[in-house]
Amino acid sequence: MIKARYNKCEHDSCVYFKKSDDPTYLMLYVNDMLIAARNKTHFQKLKVQLKKKLDMKDLREVKKILRMEITRDRCSSRLWLSQENHILKMLERLNMAEARPITTLLVGHFKLSSRQCLQSPKEEEKFRVPYASEVGSSCMLCSAPGLT
């Protein structure tokens, strides 16, 4: 991308952009790629360049990438990203779909006692989750590349 005169975003190393009146953005994440451009000519030109160098499949207009759903309003030139469904599925896996949202999980003066520990295998099973998987899933909410 550097050879094609694209700049690497200083805030997100997965994002490249070409400065112009109508900038073009290329977002890369492992084997996923997303091109964003207002100008269709710039968009097509970049696709042709990439196809010469890479074995790639054009999936047409993207509706979802990296667990983010993309909604467009072309009339107002607006775009929205949402991870609502990903978050809801994650809460269901954690048996927290009915949990109430709060600003702070634990306040500084909050103390736990042994009486508050889980008392039976049945209670323990309710809270058993694949820890590494859920931590990775929640990290995805913060670290997915995007426009900055």
pLDDT tens digit sequence for 67-94: 889 998 889 988 888 999 988 888 888 8
Model confidence at 142: pLDDT above 70? no
CA atoms within 13 A on the CB side of 115: 1
Do 25 and 36 form a contact (C-beta atoms < 8 A)?
yes
**What residue ranges do the domains of the chain occupy?**
1-60, 63-148
Instruction: Flag whether the pTM goes above 0.85.
Output: no
Whether the per-residue pLDDT at 147 is higher than 70: the answer is no
pLDDT tens sequence across 8-47: 998 888 899 988 778 889 888 888 888 888 888 888 888 8
146 has a pLDDT exceeding 60: no
Distance of alpha carbon 91 from alpha carbon 93, whole angstroms: 5
pLDDT number for residue 8: 92
Residue 137 pLDDT exceeds 60: yes
**Segment (H or E) for 88:** helix 84-93
